[in-house]
Amino acid sequence: MTGPVPTPSAGPTRDDTRRAAPRPDVDPAEDLEDALGRAMRGDATGFVTLYRELQPRLFRYARALVGQDADDVTGEAWLQIARDLPSFFGDLDGFRGWATSIVRHRALDLVKARTRRRAEPLGLHGIPELADLTAAGDTAEAAIAALSTAQAVEIIGSLPQDQAEAVLLRAVVGLSAEAAGAVLGKRAGAVRVAAHRGLKTLARRIGRASGDAEEQS
């Protein structure tokens, strides 16, 4: 089990979380860039703001990779993020990619450990649950929302792994193609192509699944 996520200097308190709430008169992206700068200098409220914005996305990504161990994976990842943040250099998109890379490495280490114990690894093709998968502006979004979790898992799990990860990083975590490419060790163009193909395949298969459901009703 993991405890409260620490900050570079101390764990966030309830007052820290209240103070970290987004200000309505500030552009969210600028607010997050400011929070990143403050967090890199050891400010607890800046760190809390980053955590609240990114953790739900990282959790869904980890859930797709390791299932019910996502809490442990992301908890350990945030411990490392808090420890290494003072040495991070980059912008907000770079931070998101860096944090996602840490989660991915932790998840892959867990899958390898399961394999060594001869337990069956989950991986991208054994997802027990994947909620709130969205791809803004893409026809797959509405189709996925109309399906049950089990149907969505089955369809996503049938994608080639490179396409599945590209869709997860772009649509779930919200990374740019460049940041997603850095996570996967691929060119941004290759990530765009994989995500595009994956989403097209999802839309096509979801459309078929929805049509079959209508025929049976």
- 50, two tokens: 């980053």
Local structure of 73: helix, strand or coil: helix
CB distance 100 to 58 below 8 Å: yes
Name the nearest CA neighbour of 58 among 32, 78, 29, 86. Answer: 78
pLDDT at 159: 83
- pLDDT of the residue at 12: 45
Give helix 177-184 / helix 92-116 axis angle, nearest 10°: 30
Cα 101 to Cα 73: distance, rounded to the nearest angstrom: 12
**Structure-block tokens of residue 176:** 């740019």
- Which residue's structure tokens are 């096509």? 204
Predicted TM-score of the model (pTM): 0.67
pLDDT at residue 210, rounded to an integer: 57
Q: What value does the mean pLDDT of the chain take?
A: 74
Is it the case that residue 13 has pLDDT exceeding 50? Answer: no
The token pair that represents 201 in the structure block: 């395949």
What the chain holds in terms of domains, given with CATH numbers, is 1-123 (1.10.1740.10), 132-217 (1.10.10.10)
